[in-house]
Structure 1
Amino acid sequence: MAFRLSNNLIGVLNFVTFLLSVPILGAGIWLGHRADGTECERYLSAPVIALGAFLLAVSLAGLVGACCRVTWLLWAYLLAMFVLILVLFCFTVFAFVVTNRGAGEAVSGRGYKEYRLGDYSNWLQKRVENTRNWDRIRSCLQDSKVCKSLQDKNETVAQFMSSSLSPIESGCCKPPTSCGYTYVGGTDWTPVTTNSTDPDCKTWSNDASALCYNCQSCKAGVVATFQRNWKRVAVVCIVFLVFIIIVYSVGCCAFRNNRRDNAYRGGWKGGYA
């Protein structure tokens, strides 16, 4: 009996997924074994490898199950897809819940915003307040030299005050405006006596390896970046979720075809036994 459309479609989709999984898996292995790799890259290698391995295994199961009419492999494929749909749905809902609070505060006479950790969800606050987590994040920030662009520009006071800084640059590469420090250039500031109760004023350092990486404002800048990126990922997840549901529906049709063909063959053979 000729292959049905659903089997062919599942086969093609999983062949494409298989081709995509190979470079993803390779990239994860490469990140983890780079001799000059940063701590951030090594930390990212584990989830990338896991994603690549998962896609490789699922695509092979779907490809063989649909094209070779192996019913139990197609069943395993559908089970994995169902779990993936649940995970994506839960993650999307969770991402919108934890990112529904918090925004940068405009500063008078400044082109950039400043960020306070207390404005964001408790879950995100706890993640960056955890010492182990923050040590890893701070190491990533230092390795990636997020403040280097400000150091290289070395703008005038007027240029710096009107510049548009990213949340991380605003929180980690300069002291809070409330400290009243005098801008010298780049990431160099002259401390002054201040009545500000902001603990970040004492934490700030002109040392390029320290700056405000241990400041609450830096943690808030990281959380603001996480929040923005998570919202984008959540939107992508919604689109991907719709696509996965469609593929899952086609896979169910292919599974039904396999069972029907197996029953037909069994009955045909049985009639000539």
Structure 2
Amino acid sequence: MRTSNHLIGLVNFLTFLLSIPILGGGIWLSSRANSTDCLRFLQWPLIVIGISIMVVSLAGFAGACYRNKFLMWLYLVVMLLIIAALIGFIIFAYAVTDKGSGRTVLNRGYLDYYLEDYSGWLKDRVSDDSYWGKISSCLRDSGACRKIGRNFNGVPETADMFFLRRLSPVESGCCKPPTDCGFSYVNETGWDTRGGMTGPNQDCMVWSNDQSMLCYQCSSCKAGVLGSLKKSWRKVSVINIVVLIILVIFYVIAYAAYRNVKRIDNDEPAGEARMTKSHPSHFHL
């Protein structure tokens, strides 16, 4: 029994350590929500799952140390629910970020983003006018477009240099007009709109050289936020999948050790003797 308790304690300790990357992923998403993605509800499921794993692991560890079978049982039940929740979150993350990506542009290092390339629940939420007002305000306050400017020895970068840059989805969608508008480059966030086309892309009419406006109300900006969210969620989901696989392995080990503890407490013999006890013979010689 002591060996089984030690094994359960070790598994709980390792499970506690596994909660750290999950919690870290949630905190990382939270930091991006305050600066880049500006969507503040997506990180909370991960943070809650990470904290829950920590608390449950400590309960299971205490149960193993003090040979408290109730705490061990509670660990197994709650951890099973947490594993199910983590699986659900991973499926949800991939489902809502499944469609949509940037379009390559001829002679450009960056991608252009179009809202019609995206679909589903996340697009509807981001596109909602009342919700987008909060997101666009967050983007302005975070200075996402102020960081796009570059100087080389005090000399601003040229158009050719800018066109070869690999901009983030938010920078491409919110800080410059769509390429098909045909505007002439002045600087990273300033464009000469004379002679450019005004349709069929409605964002060409929305673009403004006013640094407080730029393309924050463009559909391309909404698409850029969706593209940024997709990248963030996919990175976190890869970590979550690895953690989930290890977590399931640890759970199986803990469950087997718990059953062994119960068997010993009930003085149940192993192997064939246990089968004999489960199905006793009617004849005793």
TM-score (norm 2): 0.76
CA–CA distance in structure 2, aligned partners of residues 16 and 234 of structure 1: 20
Partner of residue 257 from structure 1, selected from 244, 251, 260: 260
Tell me the secondary structure at the aligned position of residue 98 of structure 2: coil
CA deviations on 1:22-45 (whole Å, 9 max, x unpaired) are: 9969x97xx99xxxx879598688
Residue 173 (structure 2) pairs with residue 171 (structure 1): yes
CA deviations on 1:118-177 (whole Å, 9 max, x unpaired) are: 112322311211234323332332233222232244421111112221111110110111
CA deviations on 1:88-137 (whole Å, 9 max, x unpaired) are: 22233333333332221111222211011111232231121123432333
Q: Paired residue for 2:7? A: 9
Residue 246 (structure 2) pairs with residue 243 (structure 1): yes
Residue 180 (structure 2) pairs with residue 181 (structure 1): no
Q: Paired residue for 2:212? A: 209
Residue 92 (structure 2) pairs with residue 90 (structure 1): no
CA deviations on 1:33-82 (whole Å, 9 max, x unpaired) are: xxxx8795986886576345423321221111222221121122111211
- Aligned AA (2:182): G
Report the alpha carbon displacement of residue 180 of structure 1 after superposing the two structures with TM.
1.9
In the alignment, structure 1 segments of 5+ residues that lack a partner are 266-273
The CA RMSD measured in Å over matched residues stands at 3.3
Contact 1:103–1:115 (CA under 8 A) maintained in structure 2: yes
CA–CA distance in structure 2, aligned partners of residues 85 and 16 of structure 1: 15
Q: Paired residue for 2:59? A: 61
Contact 2:53–2:82 (CA under 8 A) maintained in structure 1: no
Tell me the secondary structure at the aligned position of residue 209 of structure 2: coil
- Aligned AA (1:95): A
Contact 2:198–2:204 (CA under 8 A) maintained in structure 1: no
Structure 1, 129-138 or 183-192: larger mean CA deviation: 129-138
CA–CA distance in structure 2, aligned partners of residues 203 and 90 of structure 1: 39
TM-score (norm 1): 0.79
Contact 2:145–2:171 (CA under 8 A) maintained in structure 1: yes
Contact 2:178–2:220 (CA under 8 A) maintained in structure 1: yes
Partner of residue 218 from structure 1, selected from 206, 211, 221: 221
Q: How many residues are paired up?
A: 256
| Change in CA separation of 1:211 and 1:9 when aligned onto 2, cut-off 3 Å | farther
Report the alpha carbon displacement of residue 218 of structure 1 after superposing the two structures with TM.
0.8
Q: Paired residue for 2:272? A: none
Tell me the secondary structure at the aligned position of residue 61 of structure 2: helix
Alignment identity in percent? 44
The higher radius of gyration belongs to: 2
Contact 1:4–1:257 (CA under 8 A) maintained in structure 2: no
Equivalent positions of 1:120-159 (< 5 A) are 120-153=118-151, 154-159=156-161
CA–CA distance in structure 1, aligned partners of residues 148 and 203 of structure 2: 19
CA–CA distance in structure 2, aligned partners of residues 147 and 260 of structure 1: 64
| Change in CA separation of 1:12 and 1:41 when aligned onto 2, cut-off 3 Å | farther
Report the alpha carbon displacement of residue 184 of structure 1 after superposing the two structures with TM.
1.0
Report the alpha carbon displacement of residue 243 of structure 1 after superposing the two structures with TM.
0.6
Contact 1:10–1:247 (CA under 8 A) maintained in structure 2: no
Tell me the secondary structure at the aligned position of residue 235 of structure 1: helix
| Change in CA separation of 1:125 and 1:184 when aligned onto 2, cut-off 3 Å | same
CA–CA distance in structure 2, aligned partners of residues 52 and 86 of structure 1: 13
Report the alpha carbon displacement of residue 209 of structure 1 after superposing the two structures with TM.
2.7
Report the alpha carbon displacement of residue 221 of structure 1 after superposing the two structures with TM.
1.0
Tell me the secondary structure at the aligned position of residue 4 of structure 1: helix
CA–CA distance in structure 2, aligned partners of residues 175 and 124 of structure 1: 23
